[in-house]
Amino acid sequence: MTRPATKSLPLAETRDQRDTKERILDAGEALFMEHGFEATSLRQITAAAGVNLAAVNYHFGSKEELFQAVLTRRLDPMNAERVLLLEHYERETAGQMLSCERILNAMFIPALRLARDNQRGGKNFLRLLGRAYADPAPFIRHFLSEQYAPMIARFKSAFSRALPHLPKKELVWRLHFLMGAMSYTLAGTDALKLIAELNPTETGNDELLLRRLAPFLVAGLQAPLPDLQESRSEGERARA
């Protein structure tokens, strides 16, 4: 007796739904990267993905939720890699304090892997991430800080142990500047153009790029504390 064909239909429908969802995510990623969150409409995304608005509402619910899904699709695996690499380094040192260089490696290497992997969004996604960090929309900042609070706290703790002389507030500022330098290097094209002009054989060499950036970042992290009292005095004299 012939087996009923209806058993295969749900699988086919699931596969179609998955393909539709991926097309929407791909289109959203490209358009959000190019225009930013506010300037990108759902109509543009549906046109680029070849779907109707009902499909976006079904899979994501709103433009805000779609934007969050675009970010988490790439960020979740990358940040999981970062934590695993940090834990690997900590096991290697058998409980001893990690150097700033090793902590930076744990942050930087997974981002470099993503930047070179077009199947996972590549540099376009990192440009989108740079836009997201600079976007004034409060929900984006809130989402990023809430979604990745455990990962951020994990690295802050590692840097705090590596830099015990830094007050907590100063460490937060330096990590803020560090993330800005890393994001610019990974997401921008200027660094790649500079490498190509100075030494074309180094283009695409992640290890050499890391070796150049890491000493710069470490020097900033380990710099002497600024004399903020003197700066306030100068400001007071200027207002007098």
Is 9's pLDDT higher than 50?
no
Per-residue exposure over 120-145, b if at least 16 CB sit within 10 Å of its own CB, e if not: ebebbbbbbbbbbeebeeeebeebbe
- Per-residue DSSP letter, 169: H
Instruction: Name residue 232's amino acid.
Output: R
What pLDDT digit, counting tens, does each position of 193-240 carry? 555 555 555 545 556 776 778 899 999 999 999 887 765 555 555 565
Q: Could you tell me the two tokens for 94?
A: 């058998």
What pLDDT digit, counting tens, does each position of 24-45 carry? 999 999 999 999 899 999 999 9
Contact (CB, 8 A) for 186 and 126:
yes
The domains located in the chain, with CATH, are 9-61 (1.10.10.60), 71-224 (1.10.357.10)
12 pLDDT band, cuts 50/70/90, is low
Long-range contacts of 199-206 (CB under 8 A, 24+ apart): 204/116, 206/109, 206/112, 206/113, 206/116
d(CA 54, CA 213): 46
Is 113's pLDDT higher than 90?
no
pTM across the whole model: 0.77
User: 205 in the Ramachandran plot: left (φ > 0), alpha (ψ -120 to 50) or beta?
Assistant: beta
Is 186's pLDDT higher than 60?
yes
